[in-house]
Amino acid sequence: MTAALATPSRPADLVARRARRRLAACLTALAVLALVAVASLVLGVRDLDPATVWQALTAPVTGDVDHQVVRGQRVPRTLIGLAAGLALGVAGTLIQGVTRNPIADPGLLGLNAGASLAVVCAVWLLGVTSPLGFVWFAFLGAAVAAALVFSIGAGQPVKLALVGATVTALITPLITIVLLRDPTAFNMYRFWAVGSLTGRGLETIERLWPFLLVGVVLAGTLAHRLNMLALGDDVARALGQRVGVTRALAGATIVLLAGTATALAGPIALVGLAVPHAARRLVGTDYRWVVALSALLGPVMLLGADVIGRLILPHSELEAGVVAAALGAPVLVAVARGRTVAGV
């Protein structure tokens, strides 16, 4: 009798335990993100103690070199890492959800290639030579490439990936032609293309944060729709979802997020691939939780890669894009070998 009475409560207990586990994962990720952000402010070629960093943030002394390093270099670098990592993590989640492709990331849809072409053309044709000047061209190039891919491959997840790869293949030779014609474009591009959080000021974030905010809000509203889309187009339609509208909104959101990240930090590879897989392993396949956790794990991975890049070489730095690619490569190998996460 007791067992019979207890049976109906088991599903509720299971749901409660799952919710606690997911909340714990998000809170842990938030704590790790805070630690990585502090490390980004403290560690580097010039190590600073936390007290100095705090004083630089709250009561800066004019002429103090350490304070200038914190406020002029590390604060912008940390904020750009937070913003770009968040955008890449969420964009990667949306791309994998929409395409149902476990190896999808912003580079798959041609966004990185489109942004790169726009940047080299801006240097070649207009003489743009500053990272702040690259912002709008990188954003525009990523947006045009994504719009082209989604317009051709709309409604067909496999076709989206194929069109994205084709667009990348077509754009890459054009980039090479421009670089061979213009040494200035080559010199600027080789630093931008590797993916870095340095050389950008707070004014870059000031220009792009509205796009990031709109993209994050849209991603939050789309999370429930992605849950239904994961069941297949026919099931989603039977549940009352307008699949075409969902894909169009997701495409616009991906453009906003991935375009912003590329404009901020250059074409960072594999963050958008690795983060959603890590999030699904921790919270399951409910996209409401996956999007939330990816928004935390993306900055953790990118800022962590930046901090590692500062410490791995004595008296020098390795760009965040290089380290992030090295960290994400094992995930790509695992996915390619078939150890994927259910729900993609």
Query: Residue 131: what pLDDT?
Result: 67
Cα four-point dihedral sign 325, 326, 331, 336: positive
Burial of 106 (0-12, 13-18, 19+ CB in 10 A): buried
Using one digit for the tens of pLDDT, what is the confidence trace for 314-332? Answer: 777 888 888 988 888 887 7
Query: Residue 342: what pLDDT?
Result: 42
Name the residue type at position 197: L
C-alpha to C-alpha distance for 15 and 17, rounded to whole angstroms: 6
Query: Could you give the number of structural domains in the chain?
Result: 1
In a domain, 18, yes or no: no
Q: If you average pLDDT over residues 179-192, what whole number do you get?
A: 82
Residue 107: which H helix or E strand, with range? none
Q: Are 17 and 283 in contact (CB under 8 A)?
A: no
Q: Are 117 and 141 in contact (CB under 8 A)?
A: yes
Mean per-residue pLDDT of the chain? 84
In a domain, 22, yes or no: no
Residues across the chain: 344
Query: Residue 340: what pLDDT?
Result: 46
> Is residue 343 scored above 70 in pLDDT?
no
**Exposure on the CB side of residue 336, measured as CA atoms within 13 A:** 7
C-alpha to C-alpha distance for 66 and 43, rounded to whole angstroms: 12
What share of the chain in percent tops pLDDT 70?
Answer: 92
What range does the domain containing 234 cover? Answer: 35-336
In a domain, 5, yes or no: no
Q: If you average pLDDT over residues 257-280, what whole number do you get?
A: 88
Q: If you average pLDDT over residues 277-282, what whole number do you get?
A: 91
Q: CATH number of the domain that 76 lies in?
A: 1.10.3470.10
> Is residue 5 scored above 50 in pLDDT?
no
What share of the chain in percent tops pLDDT 90?
Answer: 26
In a domain, 183, yes or no: yes
Closest CA to 250 of 209, 287, 215, 276: 215
311 CB-near residues (< 8 Å, 6+ apart): 43, 44
In a domain, 176, yes or no: yes
Query: Residue 187: what pLDDT?
Result: 81
In a domain, 264, yes or no: yes
> Is residue 222 scored above 70 in pLDDT?
yes
C-alpha to C-alpha distance for 142 and 106, rounded to whole angstroms: 9
What is the pTM (predicted TM-score) of this model?
A: 0.87
Burial of 73 (0-12, 13-18, 19+ CB in 10 A): middle
Q: Provide φ and ψ at 17, rounded to 5°.
A: -65, -40
The one-character DSSP state at 325 is: H
In a domain, 283, yes or no: yes
Name the residue type at position 216: V
Query: Residue 155: what pLDDT?
Result: 59
> Is residue 335 scored above 60 in pLDDT?
yes
Query: Residue 341: what pLDDT?
Result: 45
Query: Residue 336: what pLDDT?
Result: 65
In a domain, 9, yes or no: no
- Reduced to 3 DSSP states, what percent helix, strand and coil does the chain have, rounded to the nearest 5? 80, 0, 20
C-beta atoms surrounding 84 within 10 Å: 33
